[in-house]
Amino acid sequence: MSWTFDEAAYRRRTAWFQAARFGLFLHWGLYAIPARGEWVRNNEHIPKEAYDPLLREFNPTACDMRAWARMAKDAGMQYAVLTAKHHDGFCLFDSALTDFKSTNSLAGRDFVREFLDACREAGLRTGLYYSLIDWHHPDYPHQGDRTHPMCGNPDYPDDGRDFNRYLEYLHGQVRELCTNYGQLDILWFDFSHDHLRGPAWKGEELMQMVRSLQPDVVTNNRLEVSGEGFGSMATGHPTPYHGDFITPEQFVPPRGLQDISGKPLVWEACITMNNHWGYCARDHFYKPAPLLVRKLVECVSKGGNMLLNVGPDARGRFPEQSQAILREIGRWMEKNRDSILGCGPAPYPKPEYGRYTQRGDKLYVHILENTLGPVPLTGIPADSIQRIRLLPDGSEVPLSRSWVHADWPDLAFADLGENPVLPDPVDTVLEVTLKSHSEAMK
Ligand code: GLC
């Protein structure tokens, strides 16, 4: 039977994802022991023989997935995605297809199961990241993939490697994840490049299997592309392995993402807190929490999600800096979550002092820098405003009647009072309730 794109099913299964807006990305595995990031095997050309023994050492006794889920929840996150297998091939789940897995490590634990149980208990939607690339599997191309740690090393030729046998392994593991761990909300594949895209992964067959086992799971676009490239959803001609959302990486797109006909696309920007996905002990270059709050607001104002990453250490703990950032984001979200969750772009031009997000008749004005005097509600017709409140405490914010803006009668201005300092230096949010069209026309 030939495949056809089911737009209604696509919109139905991505609805929760678009409303969720904010998730936690978790990169964790053996690479936490070298503590130089998840690409350490590639960056330092470490042969398998030198890397595999880490399996016998891996025993993150401090790993408490309930604590992980609680930190995500308290930060206002609505979903969490864990690396079930990264490029190094190490599996955090009890796969019957390999011995290179956490249940064979000193820990002897199925961390994927612990993660999913803890997240579901905390009320978080759950996702699993699965690397298409596998530097451990003997049938994965060593010379035929420029990302392989042994690429360029003549001692590791590709003679005898059977890529179809690797694909059986890849499909078999995805089948295990889709069969043995309950309902998954997100499958986060990573990543396609060069000739290794779509059909090369037997993408149509893979997605048929995924859809048969997890019909509502939301998938990303990396069976086709990576953090660069949008994939076939943007062309208006989705392939059977199109993916449901676009995945800009370490970057917020200059504007919302649309397909060739101008229809908005579902997208999620994945962002690290420092400069590494996996734990990197020397990388102290963390983004300040206020910056990350403002990037979250920017993503939502452009119709996207933000997936913010933490790389737990080899003991199973979040780095202290990551914990502090999550707590600070959580303090802002606790008071302003209504301006993020379920929101999207507003049909008005961006105000020069901040951003707009909207959900139904609630328009949220994110004031990111002081205005001198009353705040111009750029583009919002004065007669469409029913009331304005300061979101965190619900206090009334009157429309300004000041003479200073008398020359702009068609513009509405909010009066924040005599204090020139904004209530929240990170992002002061006003909730504007708009009149329905009929009320506005009275
Ligand atoms: C890139 C990196 C990979 C990381 C991913 C997260 O693909 O290669 O290490 O997991 O980005 O988006």
Predicted confidence (pLDDT) per residue in 296-330, tens digit: 999 999 999 999 999 999 999 999 999 999 999 99
Residue in the structure block whose two tokens are 């409303």: 19
Tell me what the mean pLDDT of segment 152-156 comes to: 97
Question: Is the model's pLDDT at 439 over the cut of 90?
Answer: no
Among 178, 238, 168, 177, CA closest to 212: 178
Whether 41 and 51 have beta carbons less than 8 Å apart is answered as yes
For 367, list phi and psi in degrees, rounded to 5.
-95, 105
> Separation of 164 CA from ligand 1 center, angstroms?
24
Q: What residue has token string 């660069």?
A: 228
pLDDT at 168: 98
- How many Å lie between the centroid of ligand 1 and the Cα of residue 308? 13
> For residue range 247-277, what is the model confidence (pLDDT) as tens digits?
999 999 999 999 999 999 999 999 999 999 9
Q: What percent of the chain has pLDDT over 90?
A: 97
> What local confidence, expressed as pLDDT, does residue 103 receive?
98
- Average pLDDT for residues 334-363, to the nearest whole number? 98
- pLDDT band (50, 70, 90) for residue 146: very high
Average confidence (pLDDT) over 127-154: 98
Closest ligand 1 atom to 222 CA: 7
Atom of ligand 1 nearest to the CA of 278: 9
Residue 1 has pLDDT above 70, yes or no: no
The two three-digit tokens of residue 416, written as one number:
């924040």
Quick check: 52 pLDDT over 90? Answer: yes
Q: How far apart are CA 304 and CA 200, in angstroms?
A: 29
- Probe target for ligand 1 pocket from 190, 220, 224, with the most ligand atoms within 8 Å of CB: 190
Helix axes 111-122, 65-74, angle to 10 degrees: 40
Looking at residue 2, its pLDDT comes to 82
Q: Token pair 């149509």 is at which residue? A: 204
Residues 70-113 have pLDDT tens digits of: 999 999 999 999 999 999 999 999 999 999 999 999 999 999 99
Residue 363 has pLDDT above 90, yes or no: yes
- In this predicted structure, the answer to whether residue 289 has a pLDDT above a threshold of 90 is yes
What is the per-residue pLDDT across 373-395, written as a single tens digit (0 to 9) for each? 999 999 998 899 999 999 999 99
Average pLDDT rounded to a whole number, residues 187-207 = 98
Which amino acids bring their CB within 6 angstroms of ligand 1?
27, 38-39, 190-191, 226-227, 249, 270, 277
pLDDT recorded at residue 148: 98
pLDDT at 193 over 80: yes
Average pLDDT, the chain: 97
Domain boundaries, the chain: 7-336, 354-441
For residue 191, whether the previous peptide bond is cis, meaning omega lies within 30 degrees of 0, is yes
Which of the listed residues 277, 279, 306, 310 should we mutate to test ligand 1's pocket, taking the one with most ligand atoms within 8 A of CB? 277
pLDDT of residue 440: 57
Q: Of 366, 412, 405, which Cα lies nearest the Cα of 386?
A: 412
Other beta carbons within 10 Å of 30: 27
Which residues share a beta bridge with 305? 268
On the question of pLDDT at 372 being above 80, the answer is: yes
Q: Tell me how far the alpha carbon of residue 279 lies from the centroid of ligand 1, in angstroms.
A: 13
Within 13 Å of residue 34, how many CA atoms lie on the same side as its CB?
Answer: 21
Residues 6 or more apart from 156 whose CB is under 8 A from it?
A: 142, 143, 150
Whole-number Å distance, alpha carbon 155 to ligand 1 midpoint, is 27
Task: Give distance in angstroms: CA of 429 to centre of ligand 1.
Answer: 33
Question: Which residue puts its alpha carbon closest to atom 5 of ligand 1?
Answer: 190
For ligand 1, the distance from its centroid to the CA atom of residue 258, given in whole angstroms, is 23
Average pLDDT over residues 219-223: 98
Yes or no: domain 354-441 corresponds to CATH 2.60.40.1180: yes
For residue 442, name the pLDDT band (cuts at 50, 70, 90).
low
Report whether pLDDT(437) > 80: no
Mean pLDDT in residue range 361-371: 97
For ligand 1, pick from 129, 132, 249, 267 the residue to mutate: most ligand atoms within 8 Å of CB: 249
CA of 190 to the centre of ligand 1 (A): 7
pLDDT given for residue 438 in this prediction: 59
Structural class in CATH, domain 7-336: alpha beta
